[in-house]
Structure 1
Amino acid sequence: MSAVIRGVASAVGIPTVITELPEDAVSPDVARQLVDRGQRLCPVADDEIPLVTESVGASLAASGLAPDEVRHILVTTETMTVSGSRAAHEQARGRLYKACADLGLGHAPVTALTFGGCGAVLSAIDYAALMVERDSTGGILVVAVGRMRDGDSRELAPAVSAIGDGVASCVVTSGGGGWTLRWLLRRAFLETAKFDHSTDFGPTLVTLGRALRSMRNEAKERGLPQQPRLVCNNYGLPTIRLFGSALSIAMDDVFVDNIPMLSHLGTPDLLINLASLPSSSREVLALATGPADCALALLERTSCDTA
């Protein structure tokens, strides 16, 4: 049986008007640019653990999977692992472990996927799919966490997006109702790390465009629906238009409804957008982009999806 994404849920911080964020988080000039690019609100939270508890609890309830049926927990994050010291790292890890144990998941090993930026969530889902193909009992819990620390800039330079706080989660099982992962493609361009993206984003943008066009051609060979919806990270509209153009998808078929309300939450974006799609969306291209790689997956909604 195919791996299925089920019980997609999320929890986000307090919606905050971008132009009212502290200047050390988003400068007034950049805030105005982001508003012009379609973003209005940026969720802000002072702690990610309550969001983890809320989102994971909702995923388990929606999927019908009991806590003792979860075999492994995959956490995809760029922020929880940025602690500044070994002691702070161990404290953050311990708080996450306690939250999982309180949810009845104390038996499940935890693995963190990081460094991949916002594209890591598709890697986590792919990894989970491989695990359930090897052992179809129970399921794998995927948790995407993004929360900025006090004093961090909330600008994704150069004025690509504001960065908010939120958590999204799902379970991956063998069969059932949800989203079936049909195929997944990846491209990496680690050499672009030599550029300062805040001042010299052009080379990376060109490389990303080439990668997307290359994946589009390979996707046709794998089996590409005639008119799929596209879900991707919640960047500003100019960046989203670039993605759609490179993949030859009209903007009317690109899901952008959450951009004004959520801005960019990092790894949770893709799952939140997937859960927000209307039930009429049956075949979806999911695009996740990181600082030096990207992944494109074809997802198909099963007829018994209730998540």
Structure 2
Amino acid sequence: MSNIYLSGLAYELGEERAPITDLPELIADEDACDLLLALGLDEYVFSSRTPPQLAQASLDKTLAQVQVDRTDIDVLLYASSSLWDRAFYTKEIGALCCALDLPHAMAIGVHLAECGNLASALRVAAGMVRSGDADNVLLVTADQPAPDSKRLVDPVLSVLSDGAASCLVSSRRGDYELVGLRQGARQDLWNLDLNAESVKRMRSFTQGLGKTALEVLAAAEMTAEDVDCLICNNYTFSVLRAFADRVKIPTARLFTDNVAQTAHVFSADNLINLVAARASGRIEPNQRVMALSTGQCSWSASLLRAT
């Protein structure tokens, strides 16, 4: 079976930055605002560009890093839950491919896992490469809240930011080897009230993450002690500590630098944090990284090795 690698990790954030205290929903709810500030949030980023435009900017950076001819890109995997404008998954994707000089690449969309879309997209990409269906899969996740929708993630978990992140998935040695990936879901969680039943929902997530992380480690013949760095979506520190405790990885190995700086960039968080942690020296060659993510009713654990 072919080893799977991620190369050319890159991201593009919204060009504007503001304190979360400027958000109307937090001006109206001082308690929620104070709690978010106390638990690590500070600023969020936003953009006048659309998700596909943010995706293009990130993909430009990825393509500039990888040693692959654009004619050899077989598939563009576009992961997004920002589908509130039909153009975002039709003509703007066509424009994106043409602008990147990929007019014949097959564009495939991934969206049902929402803020866990990256894991779904990685699973699809890895499957394509391992099966021989594709040699080079260009993956991007891009999101932005709908106009006039709130950015607060209920129940006071984080604040949404605009942005995109991307990488190339192939069997060619790259920045990270994808050692393993597991996902889990409880579709009945869609029926829960995000505020009134938040404890039940969080218990499902932590239990699910613990089981999924154990499975991916066991498949790689590793334990939590073998993990050098833990990467998560950018939620409040209390949530991240709960995730770390559940997967039995010391909180000292948890990367949280971007919680205050970028807030929660939907499913782009994992890739953004992998880039930032590597740049800061938190991840070094041959170290193992676990990346956790959650959506409304799903969760995932990915195990990577830095090359």
Matched position secondary structure for 1:150: coil
Tell me the number of residue pairs that the alignment of Structure 1 and Structure 2 aligns: 295
Aligned ranges 1:102-251 → 2 under 5 Å? 102-135=99-132, 138-222=135-219, 223-225=221-223, 226-228=225-227, 229-251=229-251
Please report how far the alpha carbon of residue 191 of structure 1 lies from its aligned counterpart in structure 2 after TM superposition: 1.1
Q: Please, which of 41, 44, 53 is the counterpart of residue 42 of structure 1? A: 44
What's the % identity of the aligned pairs?
Answer: 24
Q: Tell me whether 93-102 or 52-61 shows the greater mean CA deviation.
A: 93-102
Task: Report what 1:71 is aligned to.
Answer: 74
Give the Cα–Cα distance (whole angstroms) in 1 for the partners of residues 53 and 148 of structure 2.
21
Task: Report what 1:295 is aligned to.
Answer: 300
Please report how far the alpha carbon of residue 177 of structure 1 lies from its aligned counterpart in structure 2 after TM superposition: 2.1
Distance verdict in 2 for CA 1:177–1:260, change over 3 Å: same
Q: Please, which of 54, 58, 62 is the counterpart of residue 61 of structure 2? A: 58
Please report how far the alpha carbon of residue 175 of structure 1 lies from its aligned counterpart in structure 2 after TM superposition: 2.2
Please report how far the alpha carbon of residue 224 of structure 1 lies from its aligned counterpart in structure 2 after TM superposition: 2.3
Please report how far the alpha carbon of residue 189 of structure 1 lies from its aligned counterpart in structure 2 after TM superposition: 0.9
Give the Cα–Cα distance (whole angstroms) in 1 for the partners of residues 87 and 209 of structure 2.
38
| Amino acid corresponding to residue 34 of structure 1 in structure 2 | L
Please report how far the alpha carbon of residue 16 of structure 1 lies from its aligned counterpart in structure 2 after TM superposition: 1.4
RMSD over aligned Cα atoms: 1.8
Please report how far the alpha carbon of residue 91 of structure 1 lies from its aligned counterpart in structure 2 after TM superposition: 6.2
Task: Report what 1:10 is aligned to.
Answer: 11
Please report how far the alpha carbon of residue 213 of structure 1 lies from its aligned counterpart in structure 2 after TM superposition: 2.4
Name stretches of at least 5 consecutive residues in structure 1 with no aligned partner: 84-88, 303-307
Q: Tell me whether 254-263 or 280-289 shows the greater mean CA deviation.
A: 280-289
| Amino acid corresponding to residue 305 of structure 2 in structure 1 | E
Name stretches of at least 5 consecutive residues in structure 2 with no aligned partner: none
Give the Cα–Cα distance (whole angstroms) in 1 for the partners of residues 41 and 165 of structure 2.
20
Task: Report what 2:284 is aligned to.
Answer: 280
| Amino acid corresponding to residue 109 of structure 1 in structure 2 | M
Aligned ranges 1:87-98 → 2 under 5 Å? 89-90=86-87, 93-98=90-95
Contact 2:20 2:26 in 1 (8 A): no
The TM-score, its normalising length taken from structure 1, stands at 0.91
Give the Cα–Cα distance (whole angstroms) in 2 for the partners of residues 45 and 25 of structure 1.
20
Please report how far the alpha carbon of residue 194 of structure 1 lies from its aligned counterpart in structure 2 after TM superposition: 1.4
Cα shift readout 1:106-144 (whole Å, capped 9, x = no counterpart): 111111111211111011111111111222864101110
Give the Cα–Cα distance (whole angstroms) in 1 for the partners of residues 260 and 301 of structure 2.
24
Please report how far the alpha carbon of residue 215 of structure 1 lies from its aligned counterpart in structure 2 after TM superposition: 2.4
The TM-score, its normalising length taken from structure 2, stands at 0.91
Cα shift readout 1:151-174 (whole Å, capped 9, x = no counterpart): 010010111000010000001011
| Amino acid corresponding to residue 165 of structure 1 in structure 2 | D
Please report how far the alpha carbon of residue 220 of structure 1 lies from its aligned counterpart in structure 2 after TM superposition: 4.3
Q: Please, which of 33, 40, 52 is the counterpart of residue 31 of structure 1? A: 33
